[in-house]
Amino acid sequence: MRLLILGGTAWLGGTIAAIAVRRGHAVTCLARGSGNSPPAGTEFVRADRDAPEAYAAVAQRDWDAVIDVSRQPGQVRGAAAAMARRARHYTFVSSASVYADHGTPGAAEDAGLLPPLDGDVMDSMEVYGEAKVACEQHVLAHFGPKRSLIVRSGLVAGPGDETGRTGYWPLRFARPAAEDGRVLVPEAPDLATQVVDVRDLAAWIVGATARGVSGIFNAMGDALQLAEHLAEARGVAGHTGPLVAADQDWLLAHGVQPWMGARSLPLWLPLPEYAGFSSRSTAAAKAAGLSLRPLRETLADTLAWELERGADRTRAAGLSADEERDLLRARASDAG
């Protein structure tokens, strides 16, 4: 397969490129090249996707497929228009954030979407879902449903996760902030989690693209209760200390943010409005070949990567050790 990856230097794109090379495909990565280098064995084309002639160097060649991971509608519109007569197939990596309703567990790909972003540039993560909707529409407009694969990914996990969301829990259990090993956890018995290992997602994208699979798919992990996910994280970390549970009202009242970012508890989301965010149907993707490794393997590999990177480094998500100790003291005071 002659494969053009628009990106290929960041986490998911780089993993896709590396797997494609290992499978014997001829891979070209088009990117600015201002960050990481593309994997060994790829051809690199340096280009700014916001520039008028961004695709000039690749639009004169024929491709079996294009894979695009952008979040910017203008970039996707330009790429799809430039490659429509040069590529047989276009795979776009979208997101579960395109859905308008996150409160219904088990929803499939026919669930309603947000309105598309009106414009070419997503300048805030507040409109990430709308931007991805617009990107999907640009791909379908230029390639049509029979030549397009839309991959709606959930939370991507595994070694290399710089967002800190999937590494937070195994690392916290391996390195508790409290001397007695206590760890603060959300009390959310009805909340599901749904993470997909970056290696499994990338492998499926490469395989489905090579086979010319078309359609729209939720490419996500198996839905698992948060308590079960935390139990797996404790297991890989060897944690035996106490768990200190706090419900969502207490966490919010004490300034703990859900999901991601500073002073947060990753994977935790308020209910009922997010009851379906991490419990979407993946039946279609599994029927199309999506294969998932055990969550414990993903968490163990992520913990090893986190420890190699440095357990005490500043993180993009979670509670700092000081913040957690303060919250544990507040929780003990409330209980006493």
Instruction: Tell whether the model's pLDDT for residue 336 goes beyond 70.
Output: no
- Taking the model in full, what pTM does it have? 0.96
CATH class, 2-153 region = alpha beta
Q: What is the mean pLDDT of residues 271-295?
A: 97
The reported pLDDT for the residue numbered 36 is: 80
Q: How far apart are CA 245 and CA 238, in angstroms?
A: 19
pLDDT of 35: 72
pLDDT band at 291 (very low <50, low <70, confident <90, very high): very high
* 8 confidence band (pLDDT: 50, 70, 90): confident
For CATH 3.90.25, the residue range(s) in the chain are 158-194+223-275+294-335
Q: How far is CA 94 from the centre of its chain?
A: 10
> Helix %, strand %, coil % for the chain, to 5?
35, 20, 45
- When pLDDT is cut at 50, 70 and 90, the band that residue 312 belongs to is confident
Phi, psi of 60 (to 5 degrees): -100, 5
Domain 158-194+223-275+294-335 CATH class label:
alpha beta
Got the DSSP string for 131-152? HHHHHHHHHHHHH-TTSEEEEE
**Model pLDDT, residue 219:** 98
Three-class secondary structure assignment of 277-315: CCCCCCHHHHHCCCCCCCHHHHHHHHHHHHHHHCCCCCC
Q: Mean pLDDT across the chain, nearest whole number?
A: 96
Query: What is the per-residue pLDDT across 196-213, written as a single tens digit (0 to 9) for each?
Result: 999 999 999 999 999 999
Confidence of residue 62 (pLDDT cuts 50, 70, 90): very high
User: Is the confidence at residue 151, as pLDDT, over 90?
Assistant: yes
CATH 3.40.50.720 region(s) of the chain? 2-153
pLDDT at 174: 97
Q: Mark residue 306 as left, alpha or beta (left: phi above 0; alpha: psi -120 to 50; beta: remaining).
A: alpha
Q: Per-residue confidence at 52, pLDDT binned at 50, 70, 90?
A: confident
